Amino acid sequence: MALRLSSLKIENYRNIEHLEIPELAQVNLLVGKNNVGKTSLLEAVLIYVSRSSSMILDTILAAREEANFTDKSLPARLEMYAMLFHGRETALPSKRICIETGNDFGKLELQLVPCVLVRESLGDGSVRSTPQVITSSDYLDIPDAYLGLLYHHDNEKEIIPLTPSRRLSGYGRAIRTSGNSLFIKSDNSIISMLGESNIGDLWERIALTEKEEFIIQALSIIEPIKRLTVLSEERRNRVLSEEPRNRVKILVQTIVEQRVSLKSMGDGMNRIFAIALAMVNAEGGFLLIDEFDNGLHYTVQESLWKVIFFLAQKLNVQVFATTHSLDCMYAFASICNTDEYRGLGKAIRLERYNEALFAETFSEDDLRKVVEHGIEIR
């Protein structure tokens, strides 16, 4: 059976010093003011289910334009990764990020620490290098000191090197997770368990399956289409001498037999495509959507939520989405109160009182009243 988070507790991640959500559903909509911590919560869930893959940490930082991969010094690396910790303090060892759920998947703890490689000669003539935490406060004076991430999950403990060369060093952990997890950013780019995901690769996984039809049905919410294809070709940036990149073009065939680029059909169609493509690739895992309503007219949101509830149930995907749109909230509440999907969704409002962050959940009856009386709960 795939992992599903039944509750969530987060400490010391970004602007979330402490947050507890006692109950989660299969489809969860997070509402609240700007900068209250909605996106941070999505990131924390991604880190938890990816088992804090260092690649995921880098991708999250790059997505917020906080990454600096040119300066390899320990102070520069510390300043960058400190962005993920509450208070952004650059003293080592750092505070501990703690992410915990109410199931048997355990508690995850992360802490920035200064490290050094200790080399040991083995009997066969080989040398084994083991990362070790530096306990003294003068770690900057140690020539080979580097920044590490102390990873602690249940009885498993490991030091992950946070160095530019870590993938060549033989250290760093393989990604261990249950199912697939995808994060849709507000600009429609998709973060997967392996970092920034290529749309062409995601399409290849579901092409010529029933999942392809699910995407066509979702796009037809705005404009009916008959067929869809994704073309990918390798391009090289000759000016910057970069490695080859896959450039993707998405073509659709309309019911009047026109063949047009999806990009020319507006923000709403492209937003729905990103959500639907990620949804069908997240079977047995998690879908995280930042600013769900971005680019979507209010008239299509209820229909899209219906597709999401259907696919969440069929493919066993747990969904977390954020919004500060009242139209999005009403559309979500309407689907939650249908007989078909009753009990499947939950709205959660994040709000600060005297700097403390609290989560308030809304029952089906609460959501029914929201729809009937137009109550503001953002």
* Nearest C-alpha neighbor of 306 from the set 281, 327, 282, 333: 333
Segment 267-280, tens digit of pLDDT: 999 999 999 999 99
What predicted TM-score, i.e. pTM, was given to this entire model?
Answer: 0.89
pLDDT at res. 197: 62
Could you say which of 150, 168, 186 is where a domain stops?
168
Q: Give the Cα separation of 359 and 223 in Å (integer).
A: 37
pLDDT at res. 31: 92
pLDDT at res. 86: 96
Do 32 and 94 lie in one domain? The reply is no
- Characterize the bridge pairing of strands 318-323 and 286-289: parallel
Under a CB-based contact definition with an 8 Å cutoff, are residues 217 and 307 in contact?
yes
Over residues 123-147, the mean pLDDT reads 89
Exposed / middle / buried, residue 128 (Cβ in 10 Å: 0-12, 13-18, 19+): exposed
Do 274 and 143 lie in one domain? The reply is no
pLDDT at res. 376: 58
Domain extent, residue 280, equals 27-41+178-196+267-373
Over residues 175-190, the mean pLDDT reads 71
* More confident call, 241 vs 182: 182
* Nearest C-alpha neighbor of 270 from the set 260, 278, 282, 262: 262
Residue 71 counted as domain residue: yes
Provide the CA 60 distance to its chain's centre, in angstroms.
Answer: 8
pLDDT at res. 173: 37
* More confident call, 12 vs 126: 12
Do 186 and 136 lie in one domain? The reply is no
Segment 309-330, tens digit of pLDDT: 999 999 999 999 999 888 898 8
Segment 71-100, tens digit of pLDDT: 888 999 999 999 999 999 999 999 999 999
Residue 236 counted as domain residue: no
Judge whether residue 169 has pLDDT over 50: no
Residue 207 counted as domain residue: no
Q: What is the CATH number of the domain that holds 35?
A: 3.40.50
Top mean-pLDDT range of 172-186, 196-210, 260-274 = 260-274
Rg (CA), the chain: 22
- The domain total for the chain is 2
Do 182 and 303 lie in one domain? The reply is yes
Residue 204 counted as domain residue: no
Segment 6-35, tens digit of pLDDT: 999 999 999 999 999 999 999 999 998 889
Q: Give the Cα separation of 189 and 186 in Å (integer).
A: 8
CA dihedral 157, 163, 165, 169 (to 10 degrees): -30
Do 110 and 183 lie in one domain? The reply is no
Do 294 and 347 lie in one domain? The reply is yes
- The confidence band for 127, taking pLDDT boundaries of 50, 70 and 90, is confident
pLDDT at res. 133: 94
* Average per-residue pLDDT for the chain: 85
Residue 359 counted as domain residue: yes
Segment 197-253, tens digit of pLDDT: 678 888 888 988 999 999 999 999 998 888 888 887 654 444 334 444 556 778 877
pLDDT at res. 19: 98
